[in-house]
Amino acid sequence: MDETTLTGKHVLGLILAGGTSQRLGGGDKSLRPLGEHSILHLVSSRLKPQLKHIVLSANSDPLFFENFGYPVINDGTWHHSGPLAGILAGCRHAKQLGCSHIMSVAADTPFFPPDLLQRLFQAKQQTNAEIIFARSDTGTHPTFALWPTTIAASLENWLTTSKRRSIRAFADNHSISYAVFDGVDSTSGLDPFFNINTRNELMLARSAWQIHNTDSYKQRDS
C-alpha cells in the first residue's frame, strides 16, 4: 500500500491488556475504577473515535471484558512474553481483517492523545520508517506505536530466537521514527502517556481526574 493513502480503516486498534498487574496486587488493572467508569473504559473511549476496528489483547477470561464489545485475543504460544506477543497476535488478527497496520495502545494509560493516530500517520508520511513510536516530555512510549502487519514474521522470529522481550530491543532491528507530543493532557494535567502501575499512580490518576471534572463543572455553572 502507498503510505500516503493510509487511513484509519486500514489500521487495527490494539489495546494491550495482557500484563499481570503485580504492583497493583494482581488482576486486570484496566478494570479498576477511575472516575465513574474504569481505566479501560477511558482508554477505549479515546481510541474508538480514531479507528473503525478495535481488538483487546488479554490473557484473562474474555468474559471479564464482554461489556466492552470488542474481540479479545490472547498471546497463544507466546503467553507470558510481554507486549511483543500481543503485538504479534494483533498483526495476525489485522491481516484477517484486511488491515495493513496496527496501532497499539496500553490499557493502563487513560489520558493518551485523542489525535494519536493522526500524529503517528504524519510521522509515517514524513519519514517512511517501519515503526512509529510516540514520544512526550517524559520520553519514548513503545507500547504506543504504529506497526505494519508485515513485521509479523520478523517478530515471530525474534520471539523464537531471542530471550529479550523488550519492544525497543526488537525495534532496533528496524527503521524507527517518532511522533512527538509536547505538554500535558488537558483533561488530567498529567503527561498524556502517564501509565498506572502502582497504587500511588492510581491514586494520582483518580485525583487528577476528579480535580479536572470538578473544575469543568464549576466553569459550566459560572
Q: What is the pLDDT of residue 28?
A: 79
Please answer whether residues 13 and 51 qualify as being in contact, where contact means their C-beta atoms are separated by less than 8 angstroms: yes
Tell me if 3 is assigned to some domain.
no
Domain of 197, CATH number, reads 3.90.550.10
pLDDT digits (tens, 9 = 90+) for 55-87: 999 988 888 888 899 999 998 888 888 999 999
Tell me if 51 is assigned to some domain.
yes
Q: Is pLDDT of 16 > 50? A: yes
Tell me if 150 is assigned to some domain.
yes
Q: What is the dihedral of CA 198, 203, 205, 211, to 10 degrees?
A: -170
Please answer whether residues 18 and 193 qualify as being in contact, where contact means their C-beta atoms are separated by less than 8 angstroms: no
Q: What is the pLDDT of residue 76?
A: 85
Backbone angles phi, psi at 54, to 5 degrees: -135, 140
Which of 125, 144, 123 shows the shortest CA–CA distance to 191? 144
Tell me if 187 is assigned to some domain.
yes
Q: How many folded domains does the chain comprise? A: 1
State percent of the chain over pLDDT 90: 69
Which of 138, 120, 119 shows the shortest CA–CA distance to 129? 120
pLDDT digits (tens, 9 = 90+) for 151-185: 999 999 999 999 999 999 999 999 999 999 999 99
Per mean pLDDT, which range of 15-19, 38-42, 83-87, 106-110 is the poorest? Answer: 15-19
> Taking residues 104-121, what's their average pLDDT?
96
Task: Return mean pLDDT, the chain.
Answer: 88
Tell me if 169 is assigned to some domain.
yes
Confidence of residue 20 (pLDDT cuts 50, 70, 90): low
CA distance to 34, 142, 163, 208, per residue, from 203 (Å): 9, 24, 35, 9
Tell me if 92 is assigned to some domain.
yes
Tell me if 55 is assigned to some domain.
yes
Tell me if 2 is assigned to some domain.
no
> Taking residues 9-26, what's their average pLDDT?
75
3-state secondary structure of 16: strand
Range of the domain at 206: 9-221
